[in-house]
Amino acid sequence: ESGRWSAAEHARFVDGLQRFGRRKWIRIAEHVGTRTVIQVRSHAQKYFKKLRRTASTN
């Protein structure tokens, strides 16, 4: 897959993060099933950046 992540892919990504923890990109990529380790790591960087941004505005 390339391009935008689907809602289902993102849900599997978040589930993988909760199950395996941060920096377990290989395990999370296997859990997502449709993305490479590099794509998962990149998605994680954007995801955590967005979380920090929303946390700082509350």
Where exactly are the structural domains of the chain?
A: 7-57
Tell which residue, 31, 37, 39, has the closest CA to residue 13. Answer: 31
- List per-residue pLDDT tens for the chain, 58 residues long: 789 999 999 999 999 999 999 999 999 999 999 999 999 999 999 999 999 998 887 6
pLDDT score for 20: 98
Is 8 exposed, middle or buried (CB count within 10 Å of its CB: 0-12, 13-18, 19+)? exposed
Residue 14 CA to residue 34 CA, distance in Å, equals 14
Give the CATH superfamily of 7-57.
Homeodomain-like (1.10.10.60)
pLDDT score for 12: 99
